[in-house]
Structure 1
Amino acid sequence: MMTASMAAHAQQATIQGIILNEQQQPIANVNVNVQGTTIGTVSNINGYYEIKVEANTSINLRFSSVSYSSLTIQQLLLKSGEILEINPVMKVAVEQIGTVVVSATTDRQFSGVTTMDPQMIRRIPGAQPGVENILLSLPGVNNNNELSTQYAVRGGNYDENLIYINEIEVYRPFLIRSGQQEGLSVVNTDLVRSVDFSAGGFQAKYGDKLSSVLDLEYRRPTDFAAGIDASLLGANAFVEGTAFAKAMTATAGLRYRDNSLFINSRETVANAVPRFFDAQTYITYRVNPKFELGFLGNIAINSYDFEPRDRQTNFGTIQEPVAVVIDYQGQEEDQYETYFGALKASYDVNDQLNLRLISSVYHTQEQEHYDILAQYGLGSPNTDIGSRDFGQVDFVTGIGSELEHGRNDLDALIATLEHRGTFVFKKEGNSNDQLDWGIKANVEDIRDRVREYTVVDSAGFNVRPPEGNLRNDEPYTPFTAPLVPFTSINADNEVKVSRIQGFAQYSSRGYWGNSEIFWNLGARFHNWTVNGDTFEDSNQTVFSPRGQFAIKPYWEETDMLFRISTGVYHQPPFYRELRDEDGSVNPDVKAQQSIHFVVGNDWSFQWNDRPFKLTSEAYYKNLSDVNTYTLENVRIRYRANNNAKAYAYGLDLRLNGEFIKGTESWISAGYLKTEENLNNRGFISRPTDQRLKFAMLFQDYVPNLPQLRMYLNLVYNTGLPGGSPNYADPYDFQFRLRDYRRADLGINYVFKDDNNNSKTFANFDEFYIGAEIYNIFDNQNSITNIWVRDIATSRQIAIPNFLTPRVLNFRVVARF
């Protein structure tokens, strides 16, 4: 009996693989059957399947799913013990009814999630290329600093956005003050398989932030591949492959970037060495058909050395031009090192139940050391166009100086352990229900030293801080108050934060009459304890219910989808929100709360026999226990007191489709208004009150030479509040910066890709060369103002800090 069993087993072969859709995303719950037999299986949540088939016998293998067109692979003949990998790509099912085309709707569309093509992300030009660059072309997403990878969503700030890679939350550095110090994005786009983004009203399975979720998946390679992307700004390289009969997959990427091309083109003459490096990897190992291990690792070493020399900024009017000339002494040395590792275990108990365990460790060491003396002078630039010294200043009147000193050091360690689970309730037709849950514990250990001061001297007089009502009757009465810096922060903090958080949500998809519906209900809880040596422990808990509903009516002539989402969103304070403007830590800071109301509509239609979709979303946020802040370049300084309330509302529109046949482009427009009320003094604009936004992402090619392609990335934003001094009372200063206008142009010549089979480059999967022009119209955008104080005339002069001018870059991309 045992011999017969062994003989039967020896006559078997194995077929395995990952089932993907056209966007290279895994498809769960696909039926895999050997036609004419009872042999079959179902793909798991990662799209993976494995099936034992009879060896030495020709079979037909069928893949079927309600939402996708069935696929059959015929006449497979495997030898005994052979392992064959098949990774089918399934297309969305399309049903023709008269003259109306009805296509299957994904859960992402029902949830209001925007999905972006990773290949498009890699080709769109930008001073900071990558995921964040393309996010800025979406309505409701803003950033007026092209050297920064930060972004603000619907009135929130840079700290209010969640980022996940393969269900693992990732973090950004703490101390970054300026966009030119940031370097590389935390996301390596060479490794990305899918990108999902939600600008509000997201589900309970995502964490506790107020504004948005960026959810990414890194690739699981099915074969060997490699590539390199080199330009005047640096180089990226990746390699990926499989091992151990494809039980192991690995992808790894290296990136190096030098932003000297941008920084040296600015109006400040300086010796600048901005160098950024990182290495990332994602490895999976399938122990058996049910159990898989995954590892995500990242090392980032960013250094920024800056030694300014001089600067001239011309402003004023044509009739009365003014120039500020600044001579610098000193330098800045910044170093940011982050190390991140996460281990993920996934176990398929059966076809319906999947359990995951995720552990991660994040360690960052950051330093900002600077001593810079700036000496200011005012003059009039030469306006004679024919003159050799046109634009130069012949005579300068000294009006003061400013010394900035900083010795900031931070060491942070964040350790996390999390369990997640998914159970699918199988039903007939396209009406599966799903239960998701999770619980997470993490510990944050922060050691922070802050030493900052600014000394301002104007025409020989030390300028005191603007606070206080000291009387000065010199020369009649001696002024005996001590000399103090204009601003000063001196603090040493050792803080530990322990958190326990969890969620549960139930999703259902089915039919209401002939209309397809989707709904999701869930809730989160979050408990945290803050402790340190200089204050008493503080413990708080918040509870956040959330819900979504969507319906796609069965209309014969119109393809419409309507959705609504609401919920209570909390943001328990991270370390930066616990630290007040003076550097001290307030452990009793509450979680900021935001109630979201989002109503959206997707209208899919055909125009000139090409597909288009208009997405509209109106939103309102009611915020309480608001932790107000000032925004200086990309540095946020919180007033850790929860003494404000706020609101945000707006409308986002996005039209995407084939404006040029065979390519995807889109146009975005948005309106936003967000205000806050501090200590019941009345509502004023928040620092992220962007108001109007227009963006276009456009692709084109030469009809008779389709290898020559053009990519245009255009953004217009109205000016942000922030033109006032950062120490000023916001109720006294509501100045706005100038409007932000920027257009980046990329032109590529493609020698080889999926649409161009070149014999010369047959060994390449993709090969192209290109030129990119950043800020093609050379607009002078500003991010902040320098305020120069002149005691002699009792004036404060706002000098704009201009961002990067027009810059030319060349690029070569090759993939094997």
Structure 2
Amino acid sequence: MKLPISLSILFTLCFTVLLNAQTAVVKGIIFDEAQTPIPSANISYPNGGTQTNENGFYFLEIPANEKVTLTYSYVGFKKITLTIEGLAEGEHKEINPVLKTTVEQIGQVVISGERNKRVEGIVSIEPETVRKIPGANAGVENLLKTLPGVSSNNELSTQYSVRGGNYDENLVYVNEIEVYRPFLIRSGQQEGLSFVNTDLVRNVEFSAGGFQAKYGDKLSSVLDIDYRRPVDFGASLEASFLGGSASVEGISKDEKFSGILGIRYRDNSLFVNAKETETNFKPRFADAQTYLTYQFSNKFELGFLGNISINKYDYEPVTRQTNFGTLQDPKALLVFYEGQEQDQYETYFGALKATYKVSDNYTAKLIASTYNTQEQEYYDIFAEYRLGEPNSSIGGENLGEVEFTEGVGAQLTHARNDLDALIFNFQHRGTLNIEDHQFEYGVKYTHEDIRDRVREYEVIDSAGFSIRPPLDELKNNQPYNAYAGPLVPYNSIRAINKTQIDRFQNFLQWSYQTELGASKAWFNAGVRSHTWTVSGENIEANTQTVVSPRAQFALKPDWKTDMLFRISGGMYYQPPFYRALRDSTGTVIPDVKAQQSVHLVIGNDYSFKLQDRPFKLVSEFYYKSLTDVNPYTIENVRIRYRANNNAEAYAYGLDLRLNGEFVRGTESWLSFGYLKTEENINNRGYISRPTDQRLKFGILFQDYVPKIPSLKMYLNLVYNTGLPGGSPRYADPYDYQVRLPDYKRADVGFSYVIVDPNETKEIQKSNWLSVFEELNIGFEIFNLFDNQNSITNTFVRDVYSKQMYSIPNYLSPRVFNLRLGMRF
């Protein structure tokens, strides 16, 4: 009953409106130097503020008959501060400021002044919101999980699935440069840090489907990140029980060279030590990232993006007890461990991006990048388990202890996995504007060199009998009939692969904005081609080609009601990456085809005012028809492909998102998503896919205490219905369609702003705090209602009854955290 009560309190907070009759209004449009309206720019004064809408317009109520200092700001631009003498009650004043960078930036020429991504169906997220919203893995991905259509049942992971896709189906770009993630990670607690450093972010844009041809060949989504270019010296520092981060930025005196550097350290001990498994745990996740630019002239600019990440994960489990079952028939799994796990992931990434503005109508770019990951996964863990009934006598001395044992056994898992991957990318892109038409094209070559050694086995013993793999050729009727065959592991993988993949990708797209009668219309059409060759040691080279046409259309009718309609779709292919080529035995299958999906997305944006505050309701219906599907299973966050194309699938659903100023001067949103996705393997009939997340609710809510505006509250709440619970290895997925329990999680953060960046320096100049541009201290509660969520099942077999028990692997309980943040 906790969740409905909390929701009722939240909605009461969301719709409580404080009326103040003694007010005046300041309104207008904020422009950049090119006279383009700036969406999501900040306008603030000491006791409130707002943001511009998608057209750069703002509307702000301020106290009447008072002197008010306003600050206009947007990341990457110089702030403007101005003072307004007391306006009369009810008076309206229009101010249209122009924000300047003081550094001429070379970028893409925009077709029209409608700079926002509304017509493209792209969600734009304010970077400050990303930094402030609490979460076990705070950052961009943490915020994405509150959006409709985006699902994740693991707070320790930065990975996410979109509209029925898996973790490998999402594109991530930083400054138009594609970035990658490690291959061997098996669980969320091993991940450590996302590639994206939020301290460096200027702009976040996300598309959940139906995206343009200029983006790459994946089936589900695009996350497009822009890192900012500094316009002044600045530094930031943040520390908490989970680690810390620091950044520094600056610009040269001649304003040609600018750079920003960020370092981070992450420690997941706070979460892992709170889980049911008692462990000796030593995580060390650290990275350093930089973005440098040098402007040789008004036409030519060179940028460098670099990243070094070193992650070490030492894990030594001791004991575990998991209670499951029902009140009438309680069960417990008690495990005693010996051994340890030692994992290490080192990644090195560097990219150069040259931008040359040939003319006012043509811009050319050349991008080259290198990515190297060196990964090892070593473990030897011996687990002895007891399966029995725990004492359920409330008030008894032995409450929870296993008193009656139904089954005993042991499990030995072993791995010596090493992977070394080197990926080169060379790309040329161009943008040409001819009157109201914009043409974009790109040519890209990628070389992937992967060296992989897989050594894994698992031996399971129950009551003194080695459990055979549940295969037809290995019949096992122990202990009733002795098994005379050879002893083999329950699971064993041994392979060495040296694989090279060469890819050639091209795209061409056209955009055009015009008027249809009194309405505005926007067109986009494009096509991609992708040719790849898989070769390597003991591999017969195989070459394949796919062509992907895509289109979008948006219409904004000339109505008093601000509405926009969109339709987009096309044929999307996902050529196999290395992991999709490797089957369950570790063998590389070079002739695996690209998975194909036909997308159709129909959307509507409705912008309106409520209590003189801006709101927007975004609705999208989508349908995907998938063929040549490569079936897979998910073990925590590791995907195991079958490396064949023997399935077809579909996905459809509805996404709704209402965002706006539920509390004046802050942005919050409510999300709802419905999804159904099923697959048909070998024409045996449709079953739920591993990512069949039927219902999704998400709430991101920001508030502050009216009498103490420096005290702020942030709430991140997610509710997902349960995913399919997976199946034991070698088992038939058609026999295992039971779902995990629903995922319910609420993270709340409280922040006290000691130094507000929107206050003028005159207020602070006599105070020692004037050295800070911003200073705040926060307190966070993760998993506020202490819900017991599970990510996967552990399957344990009782040899006598031959019953297979699915024991949930629980995620983190309620955890507390302190955080200190500052900027200079």
User: What is the alpha-carbon distance in structure 2 between the residues aligned to residue 47 and residue 744 of structure 1?
Assistant: 30
User: What is the alpha-carbon distance in structure 2 between the residues aligned to residue 275 and residue 639 of structure 1?
Assistant: 33
Task: Give 2:276's match in structure 1, choosing from 259, 263, 267.
Answer: 267
Task: Give 1:378's match in structure 2, choosing from 379, 384, 387.
Answer: 387
Matched, 1:772 2:776: no
The amino acid of 2:362's aligned partner reads: L
Alpha-carbon spacing, 1:520–1:123, altered in 2? closer, same or farther (3 Å): same
Contact 1:614 1:654 in 2 (8 A): yes
Aligned to 1:480: 484
Matched, 1:183 2:200: no
Contact 2:633 2:726 in 1 (8 A): no
Matched, 1:158 2:167: yes
- State which drifts further: 533-542 or 725-734: 725-734
User: What is the alpha-carbon distance in structure 1 between the residues aligned to residue 545 and residue 402 of structure 2?
Assistant: 61
Name the SS for the 1:762 alignment partner: helix
Aligned to 1:672: 675
Aligned to 2:467: 463
The amino acid of 1:652's aligned partner reads: D
Matched, 1:803 2:806: no
- How far apart are residue 425 of structure 1 and its match? 2.1
Alpha-carbon spacing, 1:482–1:546, altered in 2? closer, same or farther (3 Å): same
Task: Give 2:747's match in structure 1, choosing from 740, 744, 765.
Answer: 744
Residues 112-137 of structure 1, C-alpha deviation per residue, up to 9 Å, x if partnerless? Answer: 00000000000000000000000000
RCO comparison, higher one (Cα < 8 Å, 6+): 2
User: What is the alpha-carbon distance in structure 1 between the residues aligned to residue 431 and residue 95 of structure 2?
Assistant: 25
Aligned residue pair count: 736
Matched, 1:615 2:618: yes
- How far apart are residue 244 of structure 1 and its match? 4.7
Name the SS for the 2:753 alignment partner: strand
Task: Give 1:503's match in structure 2, choosing from 504, 507, 520.
Answer: 507
- How far apart are residue 397 of structure 1 and its match? 5.6
Alpha-carbon spacing, 1:540–1:48, altered in 2? closer, same or farther (3 Å): farther
Matches within 5 A, 1:331-480: 331-394=340-403, 396=405, 399-426=408-435, 432-470=436-474, 479-480=483-484
Matched, 1:108 2:117: yes
Contact 1:325 1:396 in 2 (8 A): no
Task: Give 1:528's match in structure 2, choosing from 529, 532, 535.
Answer: 532
The amino acid of 1:777's aligned partner reads: F
Name the SS for the 1:805 alignment partner: coil
Residues 607-657 of structure 1, C-alpha deviation per residue, up to 9 Å, x if partnerless? Answer: 111110000000000101100100110000001111111100000000000
The amino acid of 1:342's aligned partner reads: A
Task: Give 1:784's match in structure 2, choosing from 787, 792, 807.
Answer: 792
Name the SS for the 1:503 alignment partner: strand
Residues 180-230 of structure 1, C-alpha deviation per residue, up to 9 Å, x if partnerless? Answer: 100001100000000000000000000000000000100100000000111
Alpha-carbon spacing, 1:478–1:254, altered in 2? closer, same or farther (3 Å): closer
User: What is the alpha-carbon distance in structure 2 between the residues aligned to residue 360 and residue 472 of structure 1?
Assistant: 53
User: What is the alpha-carbon distance in structure 1 between the residues aligned to residue 704 and residue 479 of structure 2?
Assistant: 74
User: What is the alpha-carbon distance in structure 2 between the residues aligned to residue 476 and residue 313 of structure 1?
Assistant: 30
TM-score for the superposition, normalised by structure 2: 0.86
Aligned to 1:815: 823
Aligned to 1:174: 183
The amino acid of 1:303's aligned partner reads: K
Alpha-carbon spacing, 1:17–1:647, altered in 2? closer, same or farther (3 Å): closer
Matched, 1:651 2:641: no
Residues 591-622 of structure 1, C-alpha deviation per residue, up to 9 Å, x if partnerless? Answer: 10101000000000011111100000000001
- How far apart are residue 388 of structure 1 and its match? 4.3
Name the SS for the 1:522 alignment partner: strand
User: What is the alpha-carbon distance in structure 2 between the residues aligned to residue 722 and residue 252 of structure 1?
Assistant: 42
- How far apart are residue 243 of structure 1 and its match? 1.4
- Give 5+ residue unaligned stretches, structure 2: 1-31, 43-55, 57-74, 79-93, 106-111
User: What is the alpha-carbon distance in structure 2 between the residues aligned to residue 189 and residue 72 of structure 1?
Assistant: 26
Alpha-carbon spacing, 1:812–1:643, altered in 2? closer, same or farther (3 Å): same
Aligned to 2:542: 538
Contact 1:596 1:622 in 2 (8 A): yes
User: What is the alpha-carbon distance in structure 1 between the residues aligned to residue 700 and residue 808 of structure 2?
Assistant: 28
Task: Give 1:682's match in structure 2, choosing from 662, 682, 685.
Answer: 685
User: What is the alpha-carbon distance in structure 1 between the residues aligned to residue 388 and residue 462 of structure 2?
Assistant: 16
Matched, 1:124 2:124: no
Contact 1:630 1:726 in 2 (8 A): no
Aligned to 2:147: 138
Task: Give 1:569's match in structure 2, choosing from 568, 572, 586.
Answer: 572
Aligned to 1:5: none
- Give 5+ residue unaligned stretches, structure 1: 1-14, 31-45, 50-67, 75-83, 89-102, 427-431
User: What is the alpha-carbon distance in structure 1 between the residues aligned to residue 470 and residue 477 of structure 2?
Assistant: 17
Higher Rg of the two aligned structures:
1
Matched, 1:588 2:605: no
User: What is the alpha-carbon distance in structure 2 between the residues aligned to residue 304 and residue 363 of structure 1?
Assistant: 19
User: What is the alpha-carbon distance in structure 2 between the residues aligned to residue 733 and residue 145 of structure 1?
Assistant: 21
TM-score for the superposition, normalised by structure 1: 0.87
User: What is the alpha-carbon distance in structure 1 between the residues aligned to residue 116 and residue 441 of structure 2?
Assistant: 18
Between the aligned residues of both structures, percent identity stands at 61
Contact 2:37 2:113 in 1 (8 A): no
Alpha-carbon spacing, 1:492–1:258, altered in 2? closer, same or farther (3 Å): same
User: What is the alpha-carbon distance in structure 1 between the residues aligned to residue 268 and residue 360 of structure 2?
Assistant: 50
RMSD: 2.5
User: What is the alpha-carbon distance in structure 1 between the residues aligned to residue 478 and residue 155 of structure 2?
Assistant: 48
